[in-house]
Chains A and B, each alone.
Chain A
């Protein structure tokens, strides 16, 4: 029988442990989500992140070590984004027909996300690099980080704010749009894609295929528009 400390030090170095932990945490989170009748508060991302964070804290593992194992899962974000081409292609005639509503929704949602976030943060005395890190928080993570860097923000803080926005958006979207009595799946999906990027899109796919397809388009278009309006908004409100 080997010394448990030796086994631990072997496992703690390789990617196997944290890759397995990530997959198990996700399966558990997804099982809870299903058991909870796919309700939006039981967000699978949040449910998987909490036990993993606790485990890292308990074992004194730093994020860099964790990420060495988890990077294989993280890498799949790229191909999964490309795979959004399929629902978009399947819905192409409907997307063409909805071009004007999508344009209006994109301008309203994207503009509101950037301007209201900056205006509110300003009233709490947030400025400088933290404000610049906040500006692109509704965009998908790689674009948001790129925008934040250009604006003089802190990329790591931006990544966290992007994640929080996505999780919160995915949780709030269903009750919010039910309260507003908006029943068009296209509008519901597109709006959450614009405001809460990929995590919102994941939520949209969980509830309805049409919502998922439109959410993916909203996410992609918002990435482009935010890259254009975030610097202007920051100049206007950050000054």
Chain B
């Protein structure tokens, strides 16, 4: 139910702001909701339809902010090439570094999951 989700977002917002935490209200609400689901597993079933619906359209919610790029096109044009190179190269490097580090440590600590592999059994 949306009311439960909004309630946790509200609580997260209050806690994050009153304690001056570096994490935003919705992330604090996310942590709170996981905690509540652990204490009361029935809560997870109650929010499942709403949460699944929201997450299946996650891309939609970024569209208004994305259109905001238009309002700053001149700002981006001034430093266009430098910012484009920095954003693109650092994103490629960060994804590669993150995924390589995960895989390497999973191998070292023996926490690999054969069932979580892409194209499993297709080779």
Contact = CB atoms under 8 A, between A and B. Distances in A.
A206 B57 CA distance: 10
A104 B98 CA distance: 8
B30 A187 contact: no
A163 B47 contact: no
Interface in B55-100: 55-72, 75-76, 79, 81-83, 85-100
- Which of B38, B103, B113 has the most C-beta atoms of chain A within 10 angstroms of its own C-beta? B103
A80 B98 contact: no
Interface of B: 2, 5-6, 8-9, 12, 22-27, 29-31, 33-34, 37-38, 44, 47-48, 50-52, 54-72, 75-76, 79, 81-83, 85-106, 109, 111-113, 116-119
A85 B33 contact: yes
> Which DSSP category, helix, strand, loop or mixed, fits chain B's interface?
helix
B24 A146 contact: yes
Interface in A185-234: 185-188, 190-192, 194-196, 198-199, 201-202, 205-206, 208, 210, 212, 216, 218, 220, 223-224, 227-228
26 contacts: A45-B62, A56-B70, A63-B71, A70-B64, A77-B26, A78-B26, A80-B54, A85-B33, A101-B106, A110-B94, A113-B93, A120-B82, A124-B81, A124-B82, A124-B85, A140-B24, A142-B26, A143-B24, A159-B65, A159-B68, A180-B100, A182-B103, A185-B117, A191-B99, A192-B95, A224-B23
Nearest to B69: A160
Contacts of A198: 58, 62
Contacts of B113: 94, 97, 184, 186
Contacts of A199: 59, 62
Interface string A147-182: 000000010110111011111110011001100101
Contacts of A195: 91, 94-95, 98
A139 to B, nearest CB: 9
A108 B37 CA distance: 30
Nearest to B50: A83
A165 B68 contact: no
Chain A contact patch, size range: 35 or more
Contacts of B82: 120-121, 123-126
Contacts of B33: 82, 85-86, 89
